[in-house]
């Protein structure tokens, strides 16, 4: 295990949430990961760590080095046997260092140096710096002292951690600037960054404050390091936590709630006492139904609940990972937010800070379901609206049309005088769930794949507000010199528009989506060329933009154009450096131009506007075009991750 960011690799992502490979001395684990909190004393464990590993495939746990250190017998046993043997767990073990005891008792009987050395001695995988715990109500002065003190301790710990990874807590209470300072200071010191001081917020359902802490903090966190959200151990908050960029979670709740007779579910907690129906069908509760569990002796009952609870926690973390892979984490977080008003408040708080999410927001996802009032405030919609404002600015007056999609039926309703000139009237589709949108953009993400209640209810047919709508029909003669020789193969049905209108509309559609992605200069350049279009015979959807018999852009299911190498060349000639560029170093250039992907460590720099999931031009240091591809990272992440792919190259310079 090396220095800095070499232990964490980004594999997949959905906004701030990420699937990562985290390498620890006892193996690679996949994040977001849940670490069950295990009591350091085997007599107090309930579920043993080996059972967790065998039955549920738990790869990593967390335990308290402080408890071991304060237990005369275990202290030396752990030294001699090592932590992994003591706990009979041979996966990844993280240790904390008494911060929790500090929170509960106000003080601990160990120095920061003693406890870091001890963690090294017992062979933990991830040692945690003993931080100064800052309560949410702390004064600014106290919080500031805590931040300084914790940073000082982290600096000292850096040299004393031995072969261990170092987790550095980020403090600062609810003070944005202090959190930022703490994050920046910790960045160079920790292998894992722990957002500390949020347990009291979690325990009192102040989830909105947790959101605020995270949206304030995220821009200051180094992207190449895993982030641990300390103590957010209830399955109802995992989706929210991952959405905010949490990579590592821990849970003691599975055990604590069992002790007080409560069942954990992603929808909330249930008191066993109140259970009259066998409301859980998990493997354990199928074996021993909950109504029978109530009658078990105390010890057995607690163990059943602890197992059920841990199982629910692990299962929810799997759902979170699946949702990230599917690009559906916002949907999952919204579903969970209906379980408790505090979660709803937290998600509302997240939508109030779109700029924390937008740099990592993908250009599209497979689907977009409207699930609550918050859906229309997701970052994807905010960005769509911002792009829309840019797109329509300076365009001439518009004409409202009703309908839903850019279908041949819609085309047939298009007034015949409409052409592709930006000064021509914009046809505003007034009936979309995102408000009035120019007809040519209605297949673009998120609108194109959006499913909302409007589709199942009567349409609101309000007139668009921008720009002023006009109904007058100028019967200006067609200026044929401007006409593109486009050929479309619109589905021939009784609805089919006359072929000339269809052609004009197809042209406007193509130019519209090119402008949407790459601006007006790209549109102007393309409209000056004799391009052709190919539509899908089956669906009638635009599939390709073709120039001189070669495909420039392939239109995806997200309604957005993807450049081929020729398309990339076209854009390269139009967009000024460093627009849309990722610059590969000398070592990588020949590989990229032969179609290999570009790794983060080979990136010299990138256009700051580049986010994950975007099409980019991969160039050499002299702006020579090597290939085109789709990013996995945002510009500010490239080069910082020492592992992993920055751009998956989709097309490259043809070989000589």
Site for Zn ion in 5-44 (CB under 5 A): none
Gap between the Cα atoms of 92 and 126, Å rounded: 8
Gap between the Cα atoms of 541 and 525, Å rounded: 23
For Zn ion, which is the closer residue by CB, 305 or 427?
305
Q: Is 280 in the site for Zn ion (CB under 5 A)?
A: yes
For Zn ion, which is the closer residue by CB, 227 or 285?
285
Q: Is 304 in the site for Zn ion (CB under 5 A)?
A: no
Stretch that binds Zn ion, among 77-85, 278-286, 410-418, 431-439 (CB under 5 A): 278-286
| Residues 588-617, mask of contacts with Zn ion (x by CB under 5 A) | ------------------------------
The Cα diameter of the chain in Å comes to 96
Strands 60-64 and 437-438: unpaired
The token pair at 201 is 């917020």
Q: How many chain residues touch Zn ion (CB under 5 A)?
A: 4
CB of residue 280 vs Zn ion: minimum separation in angstroms? Answer: 3
Residue from 212, 218, 255, 308 that binds Zn ion (CB under 5 A)?
A: 308
Site for Zn ion in 447-506 (CB under 5 A): none
Instruction: Give the residue carrying structure tokens 């627009």.
Output: 579
CB of residue 49 vs Zn ion: minimum separation in angstroms? Answer: 21
Sign of the alpha-carbon torsion through 4, 8, 11, 16? negative
Q: 14, 96, 250, 620: which one is catalytic? A: 96
For Zn ion, which is the closer residue by CB, 22 or 254?
254
Q: Is 282 in the site for Zn ion (CB under 5 A)?
A: yes
Helices (H) and strands (E) in the chain, counts: 24, 28
Our answer to whether residue 76 is catalytic in this structure is no
CA 257 to chain centre: 30
Q: Could you tell me how many residues make up the chain?
A: 656
Helix (H, G, I), strand (E, B) or coil at 165: strand
Residue 51 near residue 303, CB atoms below 8 Å = no
| Residues 154-183, mask of contacts with Zn ion (x by CB under 5 A) | ------------------------------
**Number of CB atoms found within 10 A of residue 120's CB:** 18
Axis crossing angle, helix 520-527 with helix 565-574, rounded to the nearest 10: 110
For Zn ion, which is the closer residue by CB, 286 or 402?
286
CB of residue 263 vs Zn ion: minimum separation in angstroms? Answer: 7
Residue 327 near residue 365, CB atoms below 8 Å = yes
CB of residue 282 vs Zn ion: minimum separation in angstroms? Answer: 3
Would residue 645 be called left, alpha or beta, if left means φ above 0 and alpha means ψ between -120 and 50 degrees?
A: beta
For Zn ion, which is the closer residue by CB, 285 or 555?
285
β-pair partners for 29: 22
Q: Is 285 in the site for Zn ion (CB under 5 A)?
A: yes
Helix (H, G, I), strand (E, B) or coil at 491: coil
Beta strands in 273-349 (DSSP E): none
CB of residue 311 vs Zn ion: minimum separation in angstroms? Answer: 7
For Zn ion, which is the closer residue by CB, 11 or 270?
270
For Zn ion, which is the closer residue by CB, 306 or 645?
306
Stretch that binds Zn ion, among 31-39, 230-238, 276-284, 343-351 (CB under 5 A): 276-284
β-pair partners for 8: 22
Which residue from 45, 81, 38 is spatially nearest to 61, judged by alpha carbons?
A: 38
Stretch that binds Zn ion, among 197-205, 280-288, 515-523, 571-579 (CB under 5 A): 280-288
CB of residue 281 vs Zn ion: minimum separation in angstroms? Answer: 7
Gap between the Cα atoms of 179 and 171, Å rounded: 6
CB of residue 257 vs Zn ion: minimum separation in angstroms? Answer: 13
Q: Is 369 in the site for Zn ion (CB under 5 A)?
A: no
Q: Is 296 in the site for Zn ion (CB under 5 A)?
A: no
| Contacts with Zn ion, residue ranges (CB under 5 A) | 280, 282, 285, 308
Q: Which residues are catalytic?
A: 96
């Amino acid at each position: 295990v090396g220095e800095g960011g070499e232990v964490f690799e980004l594999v997949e992502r959905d906004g701030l949430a990420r699937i990562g490979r985290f390498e620890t001395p006892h193996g690679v684990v996949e994040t977001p990961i849940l670490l069950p909190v295990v009591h350091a004393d085997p007599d107090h464990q309930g579920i043993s760590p080996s059972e967790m590993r065998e039955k549920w495939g738990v790869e990593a746990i967390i335990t308290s080095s402080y408890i071991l250190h304060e237990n005369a017998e275990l202290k030396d046993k752990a030294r001699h046997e090592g932590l992994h043997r003591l706990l009979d767990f041979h996966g990844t073990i993280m240790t904390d260092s008494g911060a929790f005891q500090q929170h509960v008792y106000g003080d601990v009987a160990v120095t920061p140096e003693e406890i870091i050395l001890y963690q090294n001695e017992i062979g933990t995988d991830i040692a945690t710096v003993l931080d100064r715990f800052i309560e949410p109500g702390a004064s600014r002065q106290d919080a500031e002292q805590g931040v300084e003190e914790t940073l000082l301790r982290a600096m000292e710990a850096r040299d004393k951690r031995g072969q261990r990874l170092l987790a550095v807590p980020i403090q600062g209470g609810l003070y944005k600037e202090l959190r930022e300072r703490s994050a920046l200071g910790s960045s160079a010191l920790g292998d894992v960054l722990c957002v500390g001081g949020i347990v009291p917020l979690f325990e009192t359902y102040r989830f909105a404050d947790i959101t605020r802490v995270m949206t304030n903090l995220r821009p200051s966190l180094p992207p190449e390091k895993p982030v641990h959200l300390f103590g957010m151990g209830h399955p109802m908050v995992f989706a929210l936590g991952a959405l905010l960029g949490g990579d590592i979670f821990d849970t003691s709740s599975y055990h604590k709630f069992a002790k007080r007779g409560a069942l954990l579910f992603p929808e909330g907690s249930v008191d066993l006492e109140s259970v009259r129906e066998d409301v859980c069908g998990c493997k354990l509760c199928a074996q021993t139904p909950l109504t029978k569990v109530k009658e078990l002796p105390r010890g057995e009952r607690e163990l059943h609940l602890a197992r059920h609870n841990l199982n629910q926690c692990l299962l929810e973390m799997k759902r979170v990972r699946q949702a990230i892979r599917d690009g559906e984490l916002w949907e999952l977080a919204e579903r969970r937010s209906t379980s408790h008003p505090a979660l709803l408040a937290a998600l509302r708080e997240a939508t109030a800070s779109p700029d924390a999410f937008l740099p990592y927001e993908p250009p599209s996802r497979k689907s977009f379901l409207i699930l609550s009032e918050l859906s229309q405030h997701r970052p994807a919609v905010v960005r769509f609206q911002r792009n829309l404002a840019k797109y329509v600015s300076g365009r001439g007056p518009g004409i409202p049309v009703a309908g839903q999609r850019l279908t041949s039926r819609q085309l047939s309703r298009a007034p015949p005088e409409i052409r592709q000139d930006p000064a021509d009237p914009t046809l505003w589709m007034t009936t979309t769930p995102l408000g009035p949108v120019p007809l040519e953009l209605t297949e673009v993400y998120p609108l194109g794949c959006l499913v909302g209640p409007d589709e199942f209810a009567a349409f609101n047919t309000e007139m668009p507000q921008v720009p002023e709508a006009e109904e007058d029909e100028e019967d200006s003669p067609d200026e044929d010199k401007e006409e593109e020789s486009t050929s479309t193969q619109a589905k021939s049905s009784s609805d089919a528009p006359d072929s000339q209108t269809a052609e004009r509309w197809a042209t406007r559609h193509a130019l519209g989506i090119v402008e949407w992605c790459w601006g007006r200069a790209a549109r102007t350049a393309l409209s000056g060329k004799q391009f052709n279009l190919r539509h899908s015979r089956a669906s009638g959807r635009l599939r390709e933009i073709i120039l001189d018999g070669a495909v420039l852009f392939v239109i995806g299911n997200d309604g957005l154009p993807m450049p081929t190498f020729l398309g990339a060349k076209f854009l390269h000639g139009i967009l000024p450096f460093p627009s849309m560029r990722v610059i590969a170093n000398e070592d990588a250039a020949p590989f990229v131009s032969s179609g290999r992907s570009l790794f983060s460590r080979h990136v010299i720099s990138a256009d700051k506007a580049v986010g994950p999931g975007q099409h980019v031009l991969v160039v050499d240091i002299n702006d020579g075009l090597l290939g085109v591809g789709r990013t996995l990272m945002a510009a500010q992440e490239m080069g910082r991750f020492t592992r992993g792919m920055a751009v998956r190259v989709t097309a490259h310079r043809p070989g000589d």
